[in-house]
Amino acid sequence: MDFSAGFAFVLGQLSRLLASPGSQLSLTSLAAALVISALVLIYQRYQRGRRIRWRTIARALFPRRILTHRSNQADIGYLLFSMFVFGLVFGWAILSYQFVSNGIIAALIALFGLLRPSALPPYIARTIITLMLFLAYELGYWLHHWLSHKVPLLWEFHKVHHSAEVLTPLTNFRVHPVDTWLFANILACSTAVANGLGNYLLGETAYQYALSDTNIILVLFIHAYVHLQHSHMWISFRGVLGRIFLSPAHHQVHHSDDPKHFNRNFGSCLALWDWLFGTLYIPGQQREPLTFGVADHADAHTVKGELVAPLINAAGRLKALLPRGRAAPLSKREPAQLA
């Protein structure tokens, strides 16, 4: 049998995942997260007057309790599923980004007429579009995240991500396919609206600055601290910074199973939208005692519990909307209690 096509597919997927600068798990971004984490640990030990031993730093960076945890092992499975199965079965977005963007431009032209091309230098126009698309991405991320916590039907799928009991960069892949499908469509709409509006106002087509088709600003954030949001590294932004940027501690608080942390910090890279919409929780400089996971979530870290059960539970939610339907029992982290 000829396995060359299969090997080529696997190598291509690995290359896109690890070698592409805009990937969620690029080697460069992982290396940056490792260096930043090591520097933070070294600085903390220096402040406490402790000796800096590389073996101690290594153990702190890769705690055995996290590496061997069942939750982390499940995250590896999610990574493989995302790489080799999900992309073959599901499209990233049914809504076409280009279709929506062109529709926005056409609607604006019909309402207000054509605008003359902007006199701005091309690099300024590209910078404007790049910033608009990044902010639109952040708003779309926030909206999807907020809906996933507020709408019980959507929570059935999103709580798969919250079932992680330890956080690592691989936890980013712990997402139910339905949740990813919804996320992709909302992002397609939010960014297409921004692109259509921006190109109409500029009077001509302008393209964002990107690396491997990923917004350059997002790539910078991925390399700066996005990986550390799903980690055990407590790095907190305070004051004005804590209202604009979503630090690793911000997102770790979002995963907390403490009710006082529910419904907070829905952003991706920015805390700006959380600040504007009243969902911001700024963590303290000192580490808060946090535990993660979803109460009453049966069969966590299994295919049945994480991929099949959400579909069954969601069907129960839909059935409850019909006459004489009964809702599924509430868990301790139900959206109704988060509101």
Q: Given a cut of 50, is residue 337 above it in pLDDT?
A: no
Tokens 């003359």 locate to 116
Q: What percent of the chain has pLDDT over 90?
A: 65
User: By CB neighbour count within 10 A (0-12 exposed, 13-18 middle, 19+ buried), where does 243 fall?
Assistant: middle
Q: Given a cut of 60, is residue 91 above it in pLDDT?
A: no
Tokens 């959206």 locate to 335
- pTM value is 0.90
Four-CA torsion 163, 164, 165, 167, nearest 10 degrees: -150
Q: What confidence tens digit (pLDDT) does each residue in 31-53 have? A: 999 999 999 999 999 988 888 89
Q: How far apart are CA 265 and CA 252, in angstroms?
A: 9
pLDDT at 339: 33
Q: Residues 6 or more apart from 295 whose CB is under 8 A from it?
A: 257, 331, 332, 333
pLDDT at 204: 87
pLDDT averaged over every residue in the chain: 88
Q: What confidence tens digit (pLDDT) does each residue in 141-165 have? A: 999 999 999 999 999 999 999 999 9
Query: 286 — phi, psi (to 5°)?
Result: -85, 145
What is the average per-residue pLDDT within 272-277?
A: 97
Total Cβ atoms within 10 A of residue 287: 14
User: Cβ(173)–Cβ(230) under 8 Å?
Assistant: no
